[in-house]
Structure 1
Amino acid sequence: MGMTGLRWSRPWPWGLAVLGGLAGGWLMLPRPWVRVEPAPVVVVTPATVTALGYLEPASRVIQLTPPTPSDGGQNSRIASLRVEEGDWVTQGQVIAVLDSQARLQAAYQEAAANLALAQANLAQVLAGAKPGEIQAQKERIQRLIAQRETERAAQMATVNRLQAEVDFATTERNRYRQLFREGAESQSLLDSKELNLKAVQNQLAEAQANLTRIERTVQKQIHEAQATLAQIQEVRSVDVQTAQAEIQIRQSALHKAQVNLEQTRLRAPFAGQILTVYTRPGEVVGTNGVVALGQTQKMTAVLEVYETEIRKVKLGQTVRLFADSINEPLWGKVTQIGVIIQRQNVINSDPSENIDSRVVEVRVELAPQSSQQVAGQTNLQITGEIQP
């Protein structure tokens, strides 16, 4: 029977399904002869931060400037300079003297003399009057008392005498009055006795008035002299307080004069080395001051780290430093990270570098050996590598 006219069914979808199942099973079978390689582990190493910088003393560079005159004087002018560049100075050593010293020295001496005068015045107030003045006043009182007694005694004698005359004249008048009544004496003689009695009575009244006046006048003089004596002997608290207040004022003036005088001597605030002299004798002190001072025996590094990399810098990180003038690297640790973003000051010789970059200052404390190696090399340009 021939194949012509036979109709075949389409078996290929079923065949594909069978082949797919066989292939999947084969893939799921273990294959010990195939080696699977592990995925590589990628380790990210933090990058080293590189920055330019310079060296400076650990104390930093201090520009010594005299204070502004507080007495209204003119700008400071140097009279004498007692150091030169490179000299070592001790703390408190006089570096320069201003030309206002002579004038302020005289003002100080005047203030000291005024204080001494105020102290002497207080001593005088506390001591009271001089012994000679007190004795003289006592003697005057004694003289007034003696004068009173003498004048009083003399006047009392006069009063007593006149009183006796009054008594006698009264007796005479009474006798003649009796005789007149009896007709033994005339009216005219009686009248004369009356007139004589009145005259003597008037003299007695005048003498008694003089006695009272003497007692009052001299007694008043005695009281005044005694009051004067008490006054010169008394030490009044108000006088003492006034004298003490005057001393305090003079002491304040002396202290001010002493401070002004001391400011004419420019002293070193710490022991160190004179790095630069800005002002010479005869010159007016400018904005840079007189000298620059630093403790160059212990140096530190200042690195200018770009603001984009400052987050990578941490306190305590190790730093390696290089400079063209030293053969071996210097070592140190980060001790301070600035908080101000500022313009870059240290640049290299590559003209393509951005000289207007924004940086943060990082201070690096050098190891003792490295610090000794570059002692005194202030402003030496360096390159620093802050290790991660």
Structure 2
Amino acid sequence: MQKSLTRMSSSWIVIVIALAGLGFWLNYRTRGNQTVPSVSSEVQPVRAVAALGRIEPEGSVIKVSVVNAKDSRVDQLLVKQGDRVQAGQIIAILQGLDKQQAAVVEAERNVAVQQAKLAQTQAGSSTSSQRLAQQAAIRRLEAELRTELIEKQAAIRRQESELENARTTYQRFEKLYREGAVSALDLDNYRKTYETAETQLNTAQAQLANTAETLSAEIAQAQATLTNLSEVRPIDVKVPQSEVEYAVSQLQSAQAKLEDFYVRVPVAGRILNINTRIGEQVNADEGIVDLGQTDRMYVVAEVYETDVSRVQIGQRTTIVSENGGFTQKLQGTVEQIGLQIKKADVLSTDPAADSNARVVEARIRLDPQDSKQVDGLTYMQVRVNIHPDSVARTP
């Protein structure tokens, strides 16, 4: 019985060994049929960030306008589309320049007059010749007033006589008309003669009153000047001094208003478009011209908010035309990333695209050689690929 047990144990050992060998062989065969992945296949390329965008000059497009656009019209346009301009250059002149120039000249003359008066006051007491001259001026004005009164009164008397004659004639013909002796046309002519005479009398009387008032005021002013021709006191200088200061301020104001008639560009650049022509009212929304600093061109890419975390300043980009506006591929570098999420402005040509997509704007500075290729393509729509694994080297 012991021998029987020994034989059974030996059989189980053989079975276990055989099963272990079979398992080892199956495992080895399975592993041999599997492909061992290479190191290179495990490294996946970084996917580019795709976005739509538009080409813009440095600093975007500047709409050159004036403060009071609705009240201004262009008189002269000194540039045309495509012209290059320097900072501060005059590109247009508004209507009304000649009137404002005349206002400046008048203000300059007033300053000179007030300064002369101040100098005269500061010179000290008046001389006897000045007083004599002022007295003579008063006598001249009084004589002129007397002469004017005599002449105007004589004219009034003549007009009164003519009016009386016209009234009498008109009344006579009015009676004849009622009797049927004269026509309505004749009566109307005499009525007009009567009314004309009445108007002329009123005019003559008004001229008399106006002349008397004007010359009387001049005489009063001249007498006041004569009274003030005495030794100067400190208080006497204050009034002419304030008049000079006021005249100067008026001149400065007129000069500032004159400058408003000259439309200047704030920066150097290129005229991209003319929005207001000669004789037209300045376009309140578009201004007079569109100005761009086209020496350095940019692309404004609208990056989906889901991709913005993968975009960083310094990353390299590749740009192609959306609609075949240019054939070459442009290169650029991300220079600025917006801080605000907004609705997309650039619309895709894909009808399935989401027109309400939320995006962040990223400004891409084009490489100099590529910038020159598109300096005349402002606002052209492009497709942008931003390469997260490519960062421009700092020079």
Using the size of structure 1 for normalisation, the TM-score is: 0.62
1:83-162 equivalences in 2 (<5 Å): 83-133=79-129
What amino acid sits opposite 1:311 in the alignment? S
- Structure 2: tracts of 5 or more residues without a match: 133-225, 389-395
Q: What's the offset of the Cα at 1:17?
A: 11
1:199-218 equivalences in 2 (<5 Å): none
1:309-348 equivalences in 2 (<5 Å): 309-323=307-321, 324-348=324-348
Please identify, of 330-339 and 44-53, the stretch whose mean Cα deviation from structure 2 is larger.
Answer: 44-53
Q: What's the offset of the Cα at 1:277?
A: 0.9
Check 1:18–1:255 CA distance in 2 against 1; reply closer, same or farther (3 A cut): farther
Q: Deviations over 1:289-327 (max 9, x none)?
A: 111111223211111111111111111111111122333
Does structure 2 retain, via aligned residues, the 8 Å contact 1:65–1:289?
yes
Which residue among 280, 294, 297 is the counterpart of 1:296? 294
1:247-326 equivalences in 2 (<5 Å): 247-286=244-283, 287-323=285-321, 324-326=324-326
1:362 aligns with 2:358: no
Does structure 2 retain, via aligned residues, the 8 Å contact 1:134–1:232?
no
Does structure 2 retain, via aligned residues, the 8 Å contact 1:78–1:285?
yes
How far apart, CA to CA, are the structure 1 residues paired with 2:229 and 2:121? Answer: 12
How far apart, CA to CA, are the structure 2 residues paired with 1:133 and 1:300? Answer: 78
Aligned to 1:145: none
Q: What's the offset of the Cα at 1:366?
A: 1.1
What amino acid sits opposite 1:281 in the alignment? I
Q: Deviations over 1:166-189 (max 9, x none)?
A: xxxxxxxxxxxxxxxxxxxxxxxx
Q: What's the offset of the Cα at 1:114?
A: 2.0
Check 1:109–1:39 CA distance in 2 against 1; reply closer, same or farther (3 A cut): same
Does structure 1 retain, via aligned residues, the 8 Å contact 2:118–2:241?
yes
Which residue among 52, 72, 76 is the counterpart of 2:72? 76
Does structure 1 retain, via aligned residues, the 8 Å contact 2:276–2:289?
yes
How far apart, CA to CA, are the structure 2 residues paired with 1:314 and 1:126? Answer: 72
Check 1:23–1:376 CA distance in 2 against 1; reply closer, same or farther (3 A cut): same
Check 1:379–1:249 CA distance in 2 against 1; reply closer, same or farther (3 A cut): same
Check 1:276–1:231 CA distance in 2 against 1; reply closer, same or farther (3 A cut): closer
How far apart, CA to CA, are the structure 1 residues paired with 2:345 and 2:62? Answer: 19
Q: Deviations over 1:189-243 (max 9, x none)?
A: xxxxxxxxxxxxxxxxxxxxxxxxxxxxxxxxxxxxxxx999834x422233333
Does structure 1 retain, via aligned residues, the 8 Å contact 2:272–2:292?
yes
What amino acid sits opposite 2:342 in the alignment? Q
How far apart, CA to CA, are the structure 1 residues paired with 2:363 and 2:304? Answer: 14
What amino acid sits opposite 2:308 in the alignment? I
Q: What's the offset of the Cα at 1:45?
A: 4.3
Check 1:43–1:86 CA distance in 2 against 1; reply closer, same or farther (3 A cut): same
Aligned to 1:361, what secondary structure does the other structure show? Answer: strand
Does structure 2 retain, via aligned residues, the 8 Å contact 1:134–1:229?
no
Alignment RMSD: 3.9
How far apart, CA to CA, are the structure 2 residues paired with 1:339 and 1:239? Answer: 65
How far apart, CA to CA, are the structure 1 residues paired with 2:228 and 2:117? Answer: 20
Does structure 1 retain, via aligned residues, the 8 Å contact 2:131–2:229?
no
How far apart, CA to CA, are the structure 1 residues paired with 2:353 and 2:94? Answer: 46
Check 1:230–1:306 CA distance in 2 against 1; reply closer, same or farther (3 A cut): closer
How far apart, CA to CA, are the structure 2 residues paired with 1:282 and 1:367? Answer: 41
What amino acid sits opposite 1:60 in the alignment? S
Check 1:53–1:39 CA distance in 2 against 1; reply closer, same or farther (3 A cut): closer
Does structure 2 retain, via aligned residues, the 8 Å contact 1:88–1:272?
yes
1:375 aligns with 2:375: yes
Q: Deviations over 1:82-139 (max 9, x none)?
A: 2221222222222111113233223222222222222112111111234445898xxx
How far apart, CA to CA, are the structure 2 residues paired with 1:374 and 1:95? Answer: 24
Q: Deviations over 1:12-55 (max 9, x none)?
A: 9xx9999989999x999xxx999999887644543211111111
> How many residue pairs were aligned?
281
Aligned to 2:331, what secondary structure does the other structure show? Answer: strand
What amino acid sits opposite 1:86 in the alignment? G
Q: Which has the larger radius of gyration?
A: 1
Aligned to 2:345, what secondary structure does the other structure show? Answer: coil
Q: What's the offset of the Cα at 1:77?
A: 1.3
